[in-house]
Structure 1
Amino acid sequence: MSMKHYLKTSQLKKSIIAALAVLLLPCFAMAQFSISGSVSEKSGQALPGASIRLKHKATGLITDAQGKYQFHNLKAGTYVLTASYIGYLSTEKTVRIATDATLDFVLSPQAFLADEVIVRATRAGDRSATTYKNIGKTEIEQNNFGQDLPFIINNTPGVVVTSDAGAGVGYTGIRIRGSDASRVNITVNGIPYNDSESQGTFWVNMPDFASSVDNIQIQRGVGTSTNGAGAFGGSVNIQTGSFSENAYAELNNSAGSFGTLKNTVKLGSGLIDGKWSFDGRLSRIKSDGFVDRGASDLKSYFLSGAYYGKTDLLRVNVFSGQEKTYQAWNGVPEAKLRGNLEGLKEHYANNRDYLYYTEADSLKLFNSNNRTYNQFTYKDQNDNYTQNHYQALYAKQFSEKFSFNGALHYTAGKGYFEEYKNGQKFSKYGLPDVTIGGSSVSRTNLVRRRWLDNDFYGFTYAFNYLPVSDLSFTLGGAYNQYRGKHFGQVIWAEYASNGDNDRHYYDGKGNKDDFNSFLKVNYTVDDKLNLFADLQYRNVAYAITGTDKNRNALDFHNNYNFFNPKAGATYFVDGQSNVYASFSVGNKEPNRDDFINLKSGLPVPKPEQLNNIEAGYRFKNSSLDAGINVYGMFYKDQLIFTGEINDGGDPYRQNVDKSSRMGIELDASYVISQQFALNANAALSRNKIKNYIDYIAEYDANFDFIGMQATTYASPDIAFSPNTVLFGELVYKPLSGFAIALQSKYVGRQYMDNTQNESRRLDAYWVSNARLGYDFRLKGIKNINIGVLVNNIFNEKYESNGYTYSSIYPWGKTTENFYFPQAGTNFLISLNLKF
């Protein structure tokens, strides 16, 4: 063979190989590979439950009982993996794959404890047989434009939120699985936040708190044992800001519709001498509200200092919220909302002696905007409250097997709501009639304030013991005391009697002691099966004395002993999926209004009990994180409104023998590509009361009360419990640092009472929002974020809350419905600077 012929043959072979390579390149590019490995500590002991994430991707895995993980269906290319575990330093590794790869991680213990240990005792973990949702700091920041915290967690399964002022600032509410705020347990760093007497949560008292939150866990149903009142619909466990190694400063500002303005300044020292850190935040939020005169003026601060030792952590938090909110809690009459002039005239005729005393009141009722109408006209018809919190949080790692965390806390709250009242009897305020020009005057126009002055203090604790790697114990609990003072003052009267501004026309007290202790046991039987048991004992001593707002004597002394057992199992099908099931019992005491509004002569209400069954399937790989859950919540003696009123016209709740909530929930996140991601959840439920009796007040022609008429309903829906709640979000990231999210939420129809009457309902609504965010850098600034939030982009006219009552007169039955309209299309723009 000649050299020339050889060279030609060699070149031909190279050309063929090159051509084949080009033809096969797409096949190699489309090939799917895996990355697997293990996570352990330096001693070689596996770390089950460690988090493995693909950097710059919304995907992650949790290691199995042997500390192993595996990502499937990865394209050829370069990946950055991060491994993390509580109490250990995170480790990052880069790997380039063109075939299946193995990547092991060895984590080193941190020189100090992580802040997460503070809330670990009351949190559900990845191996828990509990239904929960975690929300991280990034997601909180993306959605924080100044609206109250319920609107930041609105996109989680089965959650419905509402706003009195219609735009998410001021008085807002949240329901989980149809359960109201008094049945949703809230803790901040494991410390109870719900008001001890009403058991509700008033988010307006903690404005812009989201700016100081690191993460949130929402548990649905009874959940794990926690501190505070029993969780009947769910619990929201909030952890405030955690350790930051470097010093920082932030300026966060938002502005938008209805004069809404948020200004936030945050500063942090970073770690000083490897031991100390200090953080602070100062915020203000102002908004005129969508509803007429629905303004809010909110201020808050958050200060935190921490000491990090080798085996212990001490953090002290001091934070405060101050709110001044114009009252918008009466809603809009149905005839006004619908533009029904004849109906509005009838409403006016039925209520002019109670709601519309003056010519200005009447003109406003007929001439104002149908959706933004607010009955109140008095310039200082507002709510004023200040709440100061003090927390000392401590954690100690005695050994690899034994640790402790606990907290001391104190909350001081004081404030009042002020209101103008027409034609009030002097006798109602303990004042004698006055004589003017020889004539006796028994009524006067006046301005009154109703005060709440309370103190809440106590401690929480948890001991954690890990005798062997597959068995753990947590012994925890809390003891808290509440001391509340309720009193009223008349600060102005058209006709002065012998009172003065400082005189209390009623004085009531509420003293509540709450003790609980729980033992949690987790046992890993083998690679596949994890079992848990959770036993809680809770004792509540609650005394109500003095006089109520109607000057009636109060003398209630109640002591409750509750046993709340929980048990469940999680079975790991493989490294990506597991199934779980649990059974839990919850008990809950009545609230203050259940006692003070009770009709004279009736027995005191009984506590409520809930038996909760949860079962589900979870799946997680590199692109899909999904779960499906079915539940049954079976109540004994649930307290509900039945239409009954007391002598002062106040409604009160009564126990119903049996009621239930059953449903199915789906929650999924899917990374379609580097540019697109999809998030969706659905909650479908059936919420029923067995053998419900409804009562309607009956009056004679002189409007004097005669009695109550009763009607029995076989199996009506529970009020404010939509059978369908759906959410979907499409996220598009066309370039680095820029993201667009389109969100849509559907809430099915809700009934405003327990009769399932179609004339007393909230219509279903479907609301869509759009959120844009762009992150970039300039010299001297670590990060600049510009955000835009457009709410209700299709200008849906809807009402998210309301109330109803009926009366019977000689000429027939009258039903009054009131609604809380929410804002149409509105926007918020934010500019956030990090240094």
Structure 2
Amino acid sequence: MKNFKNLLFVALFFITATVLGQTKITGTIVDETNQPLPGASVLVKGTTNGTSTDFNGKFTLEAKSNSGVVIVSFIGYKSKEAIFSSSKNNLTVQLLEDAGSLDEIVVTATSFAIDRKTPVAVSTIRAAEIEARLGTQEFPEILKSTPGVYATKTGGGYGDSRINLRGFSSENVAVMINGVPVNDMENGAVYWSNWAGLSDVTSAMQVQRGLGASKVAVPSIGGTINIISKSTDALKGGNIKMSTGNNGYQKYSMTLSTGLMDNGLAITASAAKISGDGYVDGLQFDGVNYFLNVSKILNDDHKLSFNVIGSQQTHGQRYNTRTIAENRATEQGGKRFNPDWGYRNGKVENISYNYYHKPQISLNYDWTISDKTFLTTVAYASFGTGGGRRTQGSGKFTNNDYRLGDVDQPINFDRIVQENKDNGAMGSTDVFAASNNDHNWYGILSTLKTDLSDNLILTAGLDGRYYIGKHYYEITDLLGGQYYLNPNTNDNNFNEALQVGDRFNRDYEGRVLRYGTFAQLEYSQDDLSVFLSSSISNTRYGRSSFLDDSSNPNGTVSENANFLGFGTKGGANYNLDEENNVFANICYFSKAPFLTGNVFLNKESVELNDEALNEKVFSAEIGYGYRSEKFNANVNVYRTSWLDKSVTARVLDPDNQGQFLEANLAGLDALHQGVELDFVYKINDRLKVNGMVSLGDWTWQSDVEGQIFDQSNTLIREVVVNADGLKVNDAAQTTYALGLNYKALDRTNLFLDYNYAGDIYSKFDITRSTDRENTWKMPAYHLIDFGFTHGFTIGDFETTLSGKLNNIFDVEYISDAFDDGTHTASGANVYYGTGRTFSLGLKVNF
């Protein structure tokens, strides 16, 4: 049935592609340097008839009259009107940047950086480019051609991708959606499976590397990813999208928008259904994405915007890795091999899968107090529920004797179930459990911007967040047995013979209260822009443990730990002339360590770690930019010192086999420095070339010592970490990219992208470093992607056919590796990157 659907789907593509269009107004929307603006809005004045520009800034629009006016608008630019007529129906409209409009249109407490004004290294990706290049890739992968970025799929599960920026993992890269931070408040992580629907509703995404321009009380280290969704900029109408791809990939979505109505109300709703088998064996996925924006312009001075975004999903995961030799010996050859799945009663079963739902709700209020003063406030809430499957027991799930054949074949779950049944009153030897991680999160950000004079702007605000995370293990499936013997003898208030629903091993609540204030002065005079900002915040951590205390059903409550953080940053941009500009920035800040593994002696403990320290960061950067009609380029040189970084040491618990104890080790320093170059060259009206080079040098700068205690506060082990001079691992320190975009026909674009990643050191727990040797250096790799978009009409409906072929030469490469301590290729456990994949998509606008 699925193959039949795919055949019909592909047939529809080629049949409808032959339909001829009607006579329409055409044109190009460009910026001040004549670079195209994809995703700009073009609307016939006095009507709701409008469209958006494509990847090359082109648009085609049918007018209902022989003459009139179109209104052209785009986030961060001043709107402009252009006259059209039957004799003047090919328009070129140039928009001018408007720094002030960003704060108002974006309606958030975070700001986009402005070219040739904001002194930070920045890359901006518009909606049309995301739509054209994403295909079956995940959202972070669209950034892989951005300087300093390393993105991989890790285990290959849907939404399990990760991103590193200038060598910093996602825990230290701020991700914000409409001004609302989404990094986990306990550990800083970002789980992209929770935001799978962003690609359908993003107006623009901007990566600010290093210092960044976002105005929040707690700064990031590696950079900031700002994602702005559609609001009143959405046009009346909607679209239907259908996509198909390799390994059963299917996606169906619809977006509807009223546009901005006469009563000042605008509503945009989007929903998508996505499913597939996964490129890697046994990594099937299924999800529903949704988005709703209701905006109301009350009057010229007041505007409200209500947003709901979420993704309810389930997907198989791969956690257990194999060596290169073991992977190559498999029937699948390594790229698709997954040891973590099998069959039960003839159906696919995973020993690890993720299920989660994390809707984010926000209400934005904009108040234009006067022509000089503007206030924007966002109140938000997030309610997350779900977790991941884990296994407990004797180890049969990873024992190759329990496979349906050789070591590379699926797991025989039926045999495990039968053996549990045969055990009778002795109970199950192996069961499924869940690691549940629920949370309630509330926050408010409020920013006031006022013009103190024609040249001086003050921006100040408040940032408050409160978070409760609930974490526990529970039995979910006895796999045919009568009970499971509790492996943790310290769980005195829980059943010894565990049944489905019983909790064990972990049951605690983490609490985070963070509040602070920030202020910024910005001075602009002719070609000079200067800013100085500062922030101060307090982070209060607390925890309750519900294990080990049967006399206290409300749990054992920790003392609160407070960490006062502060920061200051400044920078200047100077436009030497209309083509050349230079900038510099500098910052220093002190931020609270993460709760998980840092503030408390181990993951379940309520005993505070008295030696937990704030992390300190000092960063400086200089940059140069060149802008002309055909060629744009940027060069940045950065140096970031990360002082007193908190790391977590893990050792086996001598009292509980298979369990680990964790402790924080403070005082580890790292230096991240490098050079970045990116450019765009418009060779002619049809051919454009873009590229980048990123050269990093990221090393540890100190040794550290520490102690690990058990839950009774008894010293288990002293740890000495010899890290000074070692390379920071787990991300490519050298990356190149080159892209070609060719306009083959008036509405047909072809693009070819090349990416290189090198100087990647395999991941290794730095707390285990005793020999002062670098980890195994992974082989560099080269990837080439190809894609196209073709626009046409079906009657009055604008239609786009798109296709994407990733890794077109099916290159075998290692994207993630885990060093075993021998620092050799033979000892490393690896994940292979994804081979050749494809997707076809059809979008019909109405």
- TM-score, length-normalised on structure 1? 0.78
- Determine if contact 1:460/1:478 at 8 Å carries over to the other structure: yes
Structure 1 residue 521, shift from structure 2 partner: 0.8
In the superposition, relative to structure 1, how do residues 252 and 274 fare at CA in structure 2: closer, same or farther (>3 Å)?
same
Q: Deviations over 1:333-384 (max 9, x none)?
A: 3431244xxxxxxxxxxxxxxxxxxxxxxxxxx6664332222236143211
**Residues 1:740 and 2:731 aligned together:** no
**Residues 1:280 and 2:280 aligned together:** no
Rounded Cα–Cα distance in structure 2 between residues aligned with 1:108 and 1:749: 40
In the superposition, relative to structure 1, how do residues 554 and 106 fare at CA in structure 2: closer, same or farther (>3 Å)?
closer
Rounded Cα–Cα distance in structure 2 between residues aligned with 1:123 and 1:612: 20
Instruction: Note the 1:585-600 alignment, pairs <5 A.
Output: 585-595=588-598, 598=602
Choose from 114, 122, 126 the match for 1:136.
126
Q: Deviations over 1:617-651 (max 9, x none)?
A: 11112112211000000111123466766653356
Choose from 393, 415, 418 the match for 1:422.
393
Q: Deviations over 1:122-143 (max 9, x none)?
A: 3322311112122122212222
**Which letter does structure 2 place at the counterpart of 1:161?**
A
Q: 1:463 is matched with which residue?
A: 448
**Which letter does structure 1 place at the counterpart of 2:561?**
N
Structure 1 residue 422, shift from structure 2 partner: 2.5
**Which letter does structure 2 place at the counterpart of 1:724?**
T
**Residues 1:821 and 2:832 aligned together:** yes
In the superposition, relative to structure 1, how do residues 644 and 90 fare at CA in structure 2: closer, same or farther (>3 Å)?
farther
Q: 2:494 is matched with which residue?
A: none
**Residues 1:789 and 2:800 aligned together:** no
- Determine if contact 1:692/1:716 at 8 Å carries over to the other structure: no
Percent identity at matched positions? 21
Secondary structure of the corresponding residue to residue 429 of structure 2: strand
Rounded Cα–Cα distance in structure 1 between residues aligned with 2:834 and 2:94: 52
Instruction: Note the 1:101-500 alignment, pairs <5 A.
Output: 116-119=105-108, 121-126=110-115, 127-166=117-156, 169-227=158-216, 230-244=219-233, 246-308=235-297, 309-339=299-329, 369-377=333-341, 379-381=349-351, 382-423=353-394, 444-493=429-478, 494-496=481-483, 498-500=497-499
**Which letter does structure 2 place at the counterpart of 1:589?**
A
- Determine if contact 2:76/2:99 at 8 Å carries over to the other structure: no
**Residues 1:563 and 2:562 aligned together:** no
In the superposition, relative to structure 1, how do residues 268 and 416 fare at CA in structure 2: closer, same or farther (>3 Å)?
same
Rounded Cα–Cα distance in structure 2 between residues aligned with 1:730 and 1:457: 44
Q: 1:67 is matched with which residue?
A: none
In the superposition, relative to structure 1, how do residues 121 and 293 fare at CA in structure 2: closer, same or farther (>3 Å)?
closer
In the superposition, relative to structure 1, how do residues 437 and 466 fare at CA in structure 2: closer, same or farther (>3 Å)?
closer
Structure 1 residue 257, shift from structure 2 partner: 1.1
Choose from 702, 714, 719 the match for 2:729.
719
Rounded Cα–Cα distance in structure 1 between residues aligned with 2:782 and 2:732: 13
Q: Deviations over 1:758-817 (max 9, x none)?
A: 663332111111111111223121x21111111111211112123234499xxxx99953
Structure 1 residue 225, shift from structure 2 partner: 4.5
Structure 1 residue 317, shift from structure 2 partner: 0.8
Q: 2:790 is matched with which residue?
A: 774
**Which letter does structure 2 place at the counterpart of 1:613?**
A
Q: 2:514 is matched with which residue?
A: 514
In the superposition, relative to structure 1, how do residues 337 and 86 fare at CA in structure 2: closer, same or farther (>3 Å)?
closer
Structure 1 residue 232, shift from structure 2 partner: 1.0
**Which letter does structure 2 place at the counterpart of 1:52?**
E
Rounded Cα–Cα distance in structure 2 between residues aligned with 1:227 and 1:194: 13
**Residues 1:679 and 2:690 aligned together:** yes
Rounded Cα–Cα distance in structure 2 between residues aligned with 1:218 and 1:247: 29
Q: 1:661 is matched with which residue?
A: 672
- Determine if contact 2:38/2:129 at 8 Å carries over to the other structure: no
- Determine if contact 2:665/2:706 at 8 Å carries over to the other structure: no
Rounded Cα–Cα distance in structure 2 between residues aligned with 1:638 and 1:452: 26
- Determine if contact 1:280/1:303 at 8 Å carries over to the other structure: yes
- Determine if contact 1:88/1:109 at 8 Å carries over to the other structure: no
Aligned residue pairs, count: 710
Structure 1 residue 545, shift from structure 2 partner: 2.3
Q: 1:608 is matched with which residue?
A: 615
- Determine if contact 1:380/1:419 at 8 Å carries over to the other structure: no
Secondary structure of the corresponding residue to residue 394 of structure 2: strand
Rounded Cα–Cα distance in structure 1 between residues aligned with 2:242 and 2:701: 50
Rounded Cα–Cα distance in structure 2 between residues aligned with 1:549 and 1:300: 40
Q: Pick which of 174-183 and 587-596 moved more.
A: 587-596
Secondary structure of the corresponding residue to residue 674 of structure 2: strand
Rounded Cα–Cα distance in structure 1 between residues aligned with 2:322 and 2:556: 34
Secondary structure of the corresponding residue to residue 335 of structure 1: helix
Q: Which has the larger radius of gyration?
A: 1
- Determine if contact 1:51/1:83 at 8 Å carries over to the other structure: no
- Determine if contact 2:34/2:94 at 8 Å carries over to the other structure: no
In the superposition, relative to structure 1, how do residues 764 and 653 fare at CA in structure 2: closer, same or farther (>3 Å)?
farther
Secondary structure of the corresponding residue to residue 141 of structure 1: helix
Rounded Cα–Cα distance in structure 1 between residues aligned with 2:818 and 2:218: 25
Rounded Cα–Cα distance in structure 2 between residues aligned with 1:88 and 1:58: 15
- Determine if contact 2:150/2:731 at 8 Å carries over to the other structure: no
Rounded Cα–Cα distance in structure 2 between residues aligned with 1:158 and 1:807: 28
Rounded Cα–Cα distance in structure 2 between residues aligned with 1:245 and 1:691: 51
Q: 1:629 is matched with which residue?
A: 636
Query: Root-mean-square deviation (CA), in Å?
Result: 3.9
Tell me, which stretches of 5 or more residues in structure 1 are unaligned?
Answer: 1-49, 61-79, 96-102, 340-365, 426-435, 698-704
- TM-score, length-normalised on structure 2? 0.77
Structure 1 residue 507, shift from structure 2 partner: 1.7
Q: 1:52 is matched with which residue?
A: 32
Structure 1 residue 485, shift from structure 2 partner: 0.9
Q: Pick which of 743-752 and 581-590 moved more.
A: 581-590
Q: 1:42 is matched with which residue?
A: none
Q: Pick which of 227-236 and 86-95 moved more.
A: 86-95
Secondary structure of the corresponding residue to residue 114 of structure 2: coil
Q: Deviations over 1:189-237 (max 9, x none)?
A: 1111111112110000121211111111111113235437531111111
- Determine if contact 2:807/2:837 at 8 Å carries over to the other structure: yes
Tell me, which stretches of 5 or more residues in structure 2 are unaligned?
Answer: 1-29, 41-69, 86-92, 343-348, 397-420, 486-496, 709-714
**Which letter does structure 2 place at the counterpart of 1:377?**
W
Rounded Cα–Cα distance in structure 2 between residues aligned with 1:439 and 1:503: 20
- Determine if contact 1:626/1:666 at 8 Å carries over to the other structure: yes
**Which letter does structure 2 place at the counterpart of 1:739?**
N
Rounded Cα–Cα distance in structure 1 between residues aligned with 2:830 and 2:102: 50
- Determine if contact 1:113/1:312 at 8 Å carries over to the other structure: no
Q: Deviations over 1:476-505 (max 9, x none)?
A: 231110011111211333352643323322
Secondary structure of the corresponding residue to residue 679 of structure 2: strand
- Determine if contact 2:109/2:376 at 8 Å carries over to the other structure: no
Q: Deviations over 1:154-181 (max 9, x none)?
A: 2211111111354x84311111111111
- Determine if contact 2:668/2:704 at 8 Å carries over to the other structure: no
**Which letter does structure 1 place at the counterpart of 2:452?**
P
In the superposition, relative to structure 1, how do residues 643 and 628 fare at CA in structure 2: closer, same or farther (>3 Å)?
farther
